[in-house]
Amino acid sequence: MQIYRADTLIDGSGGEPRRNVEIVVEDGRIREVAPAGLTPRPADARIYERPGATVLPGLIDVHLHLMFGTGPRSYEDVIDHDSDDLMLLRGARNAYLHLRAGVTTCRDCGARNRVAFALREAANAGLFLSPRLHVSGRPLTITGGHFWWCNEEADGVDGVRVATRQLLKEGADFIKIMASGGGTRGTDASRASYSVAEMAAAVAEAHQVGKKTTAHCLAAESVGRAVDAGLDQIEHFNFMHPDGSRVFDEAVAAKILECGIVLSPTIQTGYRQIERLQEKGEALTPRERTQLDGNLYKLETKLEFIRRFHEMGAPIVAGTDAIQEFGDYAIGLELLHRAGLSPMDVVVAATSGAARAMGVAEEVGTIRPGMAADLVYLDGDPLADIRAFGRVLGVVLGGRLVVDDRVALDDGIAALPSDGAVLAPVTR
């Protein structure tokens, strides 16, 4: 038995915090959540506590690409020069970096060939320390479409249906559809790719076997088509138009709300580049100034879109896209707060709301009896200081303490002792 003490507990449900609580864990699951000291514990129970810390459910990232994390390199550079083997190894490293940031469940939204499947299988086998992984495998895309080099190009209703069935056969946890162009060279992010009928075919096949679907939607037209096709979730929703503008569509937004479609803003993409460019001040080149202006326009419109959707009551969840850098999870939560979500709304977006979006709300996302014992200890109270999400003290995965900031870890893939040596024995 392990006992994880919480001076402050935010259980992920959206309810009020609780003080001075013990979370009793057996066989990787939460057996009890009770006031500290209420019930005598066995002499061999082990306790973990961090005085002054706030405990939350393990955080969830609904959108990342573990094969990347390659800094400023372009898609084409990575695809042309990196093997699947290298992507697999880098994916293990990236998963661990996210775990250290408090992310205990994440969803890979597209990787080349079988890289994501192999990562999940290796993680499940305990070959490396990783969050719980849900993977789409290769994303569906039109011939020559965004991420075509992942090798699941599918055209027409029949082509999409066959490709979807193949991905499900291989074990995809959900289906990812590239509904518009994106950063892939030769594609147009402001224009839709798949028709409503094509996407609806993928949705029907996935839903038939109880799997969810999500769509990459940068173009305004692609958002509308994804809604009409019955997608469960929409990524990015940039509402881009061919003239370069980004204009919120009230009618489409109303449909999204009516259908209960989940929104994943991936708001932090490009944010660190904004910071780096702003630091250069007057030393910016004309090209860098153009990049900065474009990224600022993207950020400002996305903040406004999130604010409007939030005010309408649309479900918003936390996802990083994690193309350039892993472990940098907390900044996205800070930006959601900047967009108008209350600190408790942000907690829900990163825990129970994200779990519902993924279809795993009976396993993770809240701290209550019967759930997997995934916990994160934060230095401070995120309801008072949203930046506390970036100050992770400890991480528990399936009842096992896997991160403790007091234990010196180098930049390699390290783990705490499996015997729980940093957990103190019961003293009362």
Query: Which residues of the chain have a pLDDT value below 70?
Result: 408-428
Angle at the Cα of 303 from the Cα atoms of 344 and 275, rounded to 5 degrees: 100
The reported pLDDT for the residue numbered 44 is 87
Q: Which two tokens stand for residue 280?
A: 């250069």
Largest CA distance in the chain: 69
CATH of 59-358, one of 3.40.50.9100, 3.40.50.2300, 3.40.50.720, 3.20.20.140: 3.20.20.140
The reported pLDDT for the residue numbered 41 is 83
Residue whose entry in the numeric block shows the structure tokens 């699941």: 152
Pairing of strands 424-425, 46-48: antiparallel
Q: Are 375 and 105 in contact (CB under 8 A)?
A: no
Residue whose entry in the numeric block shows the structure tokens 């009770």: 34
Secondary structure (DSSP) of 278-290: HHHGGG--HHHHH
Q: Which two tokens stand for residue 136?
A: 């789409």
- Spatial separation of the C-alpha atoms in residues 420 and 53, rounded to whole Å: 20
- Domains in the chain: boundaries: 2-57+366-425, 59-358
**Alpha carbon distance, N-terminus to C-terminus of the chain:** 15
The reported pLDDT for the residue numbered 47 is 93
Q: Are 178 and 146 in contact (CB under 8 A)?
A: yes
Verdict on whether the full-model pTM lies above 0.75: yes
Q: Is the dihedral of CA 215, 221, 223, 229 positive or negative?
A: negative
Buried b (16+ CB within 10 A) or exposed e, 403-426: bbeeeeeeeebeebeeeeeebeee
The reported pLDDT for the residue numbered 414 is 47
- Spatial separation of the C-alpha atoms in residues 16 and 386, rounded to whole Å: 16
Q: What's the fold here for domain 2-57+366-425? A: Urease, subunit C; domain 1 (2.30.40)
* Cα–Cα distances in angstroms (integers) from residue 173 to residues 47, 117, 170, 212, in the given order: 35, 10, 9, 8
The reported pLDDT for the residue numbered 428 is 36
The reported pLDDT for the residue numbered 102 is 98
